[in-house]
Structure 1
Amino acid sequence: MEISSKNEYAILALIELTAHYTSGEPLQIRQIAAQQQIPDRYLEQLLATLRRCGLVRSQRGAKGGYILAREPWKINLLEVLNCLEGAEAQSAESHVVPKTVESAVIWDAWQEAHQAANTVLQRCTLQDLCEKCNARRQLDIMYYI
């Protein structure tokens, strides 16, 4: 299993919004893009998708931008990935009927791995990721001292 650029960029943007969540101030696309090194135009499309799914809200005006639609500890990675990739795409894979016993055994193992990954993604929230980023930054600072 690999993470696509689309998923990585969207999660990076959400981590940036999580880091600024307590301020209540929206972040503009250019701020998020610069901080996380994401192309502006691509980020604009990703945030529009996340907005349609109810994960972020947009505010208009001079001080407008994007903010999380809910608390970061209530948004998990599985929800984000389902928003970007569509839950239907994942469930469509489960309708494949293996043709041989060997294929069925392989398919069962793949389904088990997929379910385990979904369980991990469901437990991991944006808040968890933000806290892990902060902890890793602290370790990096301590390493250089």
Structure 2
Amino acid sequence: MELSLKSEYALLALIVLANHYSAAQPLQIRQIASQQNIPDRYLEQLLATLRRNGLVRSQRGSKGGYLLAREPWHITVLEVVQCIEGIEPNAGGQNGKANPTTQEQETPAGLVVKELWQAAQQAAAEVLDSCTLKDLCEQEKQKQGTNPMYYI
């Protein structure tokens, strides 16, 4: 299982917003994009999707930009991935679509593989649901503190 580039970019942008949450100052797209090396136009589309789904809010004007819509400790990674990938919360099957006619014709081996895949998806969802933006920010700060400095 891999995280799509869309979800990865969305999470990177949200980490920037989460790190600036306490300042309550909106960040412009170009600020976020330059910090995380995300193409501006692509980030604009991602932030629009996140705004429509209530994860970020936008502020107009010369000092406008984007802010988190909720506290970073109330936004889970699972919510972000579901929002960006278009997956309904608590959806089963592939992207929430079950195919009843296929279930009737499945072999025992097919059912075993299907059950394994569903268990893997459930485990992944539980991991993503247990991690918030605040958790990611804290992990980022720990990683920044462990990078060695090289002096010439």
TM-score (norm 1): 0.93
Deviations 1:65-90 (A, max 9, x none): 00000000000011111111123495
**For 2:92, what is the secondary structure of its paired residue?**
helix
Q: How far apart are residue 95 of structure 1 and its match?
A: 1.3
- Which residue in the other structure is 1:105 paired with? 112
Q: Deviations over 1:22-81 (max 9, x none)?
A: 111000000000000000000000000000000000000010000000000000011111
Alignment partners' CA distance in 2, 1:117 and 1:51: 25
SS in 2 for 1:87: coil
Where structure 1 has 5 or more consecutive residues not aligned to the other structure, the ranges are none
Shift of 1:144: 2.8
SS, match of residue 44 in structure 2: helix
What secondary structure does 2:58 align onto? Answer: strand
2:149 match: 144
Which residue, 125, 129, 136 being the options, matches 1:122?
129
Question: After TM superposition, which residue ranges in structure 1, 4 or more long, deviate above 4 angstroms?
Answer: none
Q: How many residues align?
A: 143
Distance 1:45 1:85, change over 3 A: same
% of aligned pairs identical?
57
Counterpart CA distance in 1 for 2:47 and 2:123 is: 28
Q: Are 1:12 and 2:12 counterparts?
A: yes
RMSD, aligned α-carbons = 1.6
Amino acid at match of 2:117: W
Matched residue, 2:81: 81
Structure 1 or 2: larger helix share?
A: 1
Which secondary structure state, in structure 2, belongs to the residue aligned with residue 58 of structure 1? strand
Equivalent-residue separation in structure 1 for 2:116 and 2:127 (angstroms): 17
Distance in 1 of aligned mates of 2:88 and 2:13: 24
The within-5 A match list for 1:46-57 is 46-57=46-57
Task: Give the deviation of 1:91 after TM superposition.
Answer: 3.4
Q: Find the aligned partners of 1:134 and 1:88 in 2 and give their Cα distance.
A: 32
Please report how far the alpha carbon of residue 92 of structure 1 lies from its aligned counterpart in structure 2 after TM superposition: 4.9
Q: What code does the residue aligned with 2:108 have?
A: V
